[in-house]
Amino acid sequence: MTMKPRLAVHKFSSCDGCQLALLNLGEALLTLDGLVDTVHFAEAGPVNPEAQVDIAFVEGSINTREDVERIRRVRANSDFLVTIGACATAGGLQALRNLADGAGWLADVYARPGYIDSLDEARAIRDHVKVDLELWGCPVNRRQVVEALRALLFGVLPVEEKEKVCMECKRRQAVCVLVTRGEPCLGPVTRGGCGALCPRFGRDCYGCYGPSEAANTDALGRRFAGLGLVPADIARRFHGINSQVEPFLTGGSQWVAGDDRST
C-alpha cells in the first residue's frame, strides 16, 4: 500500500485565524484527508510536534528563545516548509513592537520585566530558517491553501500571486474607493488573492496580503497626503499588519518624523 504524504500544522505567536482557514475547508477537508496523513495539528486533534513530515504549514511569528529552538526543529523535521499568514511571513501585528521601545513597554506594564522571556523583536519565520513557500494574508483563504497543497503534492511550486488588489477590483467590477470616495486605500501597493474583499464592501484595503510587485509606496503616500492625512496617519497605513516587510517598512518610516512629502 502506498503511504500518503505526511502533513503537520505548527503554531507560533498568532491568533489561530490561518489554522481556522484550514479547518473551515468544508468538503475539501474530507478530500484533503484522503490525500495526506495529518500527523500534527493540535487545533484539529493529532499532536506529534516532533514528527518527520513531508510538508509543514507554520502559522505565527517568532517571539521567544523557545520559539527559535522549536522552529529549527520543525525545519529539520520537514522536507517542505510553508508559512501561512502575515504573522509567519512578515511578523504580523506582533512585529509592531519592533518600531517602538520594547524594553520600555515591558517596564511600564510589568513590575518585574526580567521574568518576561521575549526576544527584542518579533520576527517572521524566514528570519530564522529556510522557508520554501510563503502564503500571504491575514488570514490566508481556503483557495490559497488548497491550491498550494495540491501543487506540492504533484511536486511543483504553486504560481505566486503578485498582481495588485486593484486588478481584482477591476475584474469584480468593484468601484474604486480611493478615486470615488477619497479613502486611503492600500490596494495599489498590495498583492491580490483576497478577491478585493474590502473594496467590494465599500471600505479601503489595509494591506493584509503584503506588498505587490513593483509597489510604489512613496507615490501612494503622497496621494494620501493630498487626501488630507497627516504624516503620522500615513505612517500607520503602511505600518500595519505587514509593517516589517519592504516597501511597507520604508513607506511608513519616511513619514514617522512628520516629514511633509506632499510637495
Task: For residues 232 and 220, give the distance between their C-alpha atoms in angstroms, rounded to a whole number.
Answer: 15
Domains held by the chain: number: 2
Q: Classify residue 89: in a domain, yes or no.
A: yes
Give the pLDDT confidence score for residue 262 in this predicted structure.
46
**Confidence at residue 101, expressed as pLDDT on a 0 to 100 scale:** 84
Residue 164's DSSP bridge partners are 191
In a domain, 218, yes or no: yes
Per-residue pLDDT of the chain (263 residues; tens, 9 = 90+): 458 899 999 999 999 999 998 888 877 777 777 889 999 999 888 999 999 999 999 999 999 999 999 999 999 999 999 999 999 999 999 999 899 887 888 888 888 888 888 888 999 999 999 999 999 999 998 888 888 988 998 888 888 888 999 999 999 999 999 999 999 999 999 999 899 999 999 999 999 999 999 999 999 999 999 999 999 999 999 999 999 999 999 999 999 865 555 44
Query: What's the pLDDT score for residue 2?
Result: 58
Nearest to 136 by CA among 100, 111, 160, 103: 160
**Residue 246, domain member (yes or no):** yes
Give the domain CATH number at 32: 3.40.50.700
**Residue 106: Cβ within 10 Å count:** 16
At which of 94, 119, 153 does a domain end? 153
Question: Residue 190 is part of which domain span?
Answer: 165-255
Classify residue 20: in a domain, yes or no.
yes
> Which of the listed residues 153, 181, 216 is the one where a domain comes to its end?
153
Residues 130 and 179 in one domain: no
Which pLDDT score is estimated for 161? 82
Q: What is the pLDDT of residue 263?
A: 45
241 and 211 share one domain: yes
Residue found by looking up cell 483557495 in the block: 143
Query: How many other CB atoms are found less than 10 A from the CB of residue 30?
Result: 9
Question: In this structure, are 19 and 139 located in the same domain?
Answer: yes
Give yes or no: residues 23 and 142 share one domain: yes
Q: Examine the domain organization and report whether 49 and 175 are in the same domain.
A: no
CA-to-CA separations, 177 to 181, 204, 242, in angstroms, rounded: 5, 6, 21
Distance between CA atoms of residues 145 and 18, nearest Å: 9
- Could you tell me if 192 and 70 lie in one domain? no
Which pTM does this prediction carry? 0.89
Of 100, 119, 153, the domain-final residue: 153
Asked if 11 and 137 sit in the same domain, the reply is: yes
Does some domain include residue 263?
Answer: no
Whether 228 and 172 map to the same domain: the answer is yes
CB 184 within 8 A of CB 224: yes
CA distance readout (Å), 191 to 51, 118, 124, 135, 210: 34, 31, 18, 11, 6
Do 103 and 97 meet the contact criterion of CB atoms below 8 Å apart? no
Is residue 124 in a domain?
yes
Residue 210 lies in a domain: yes
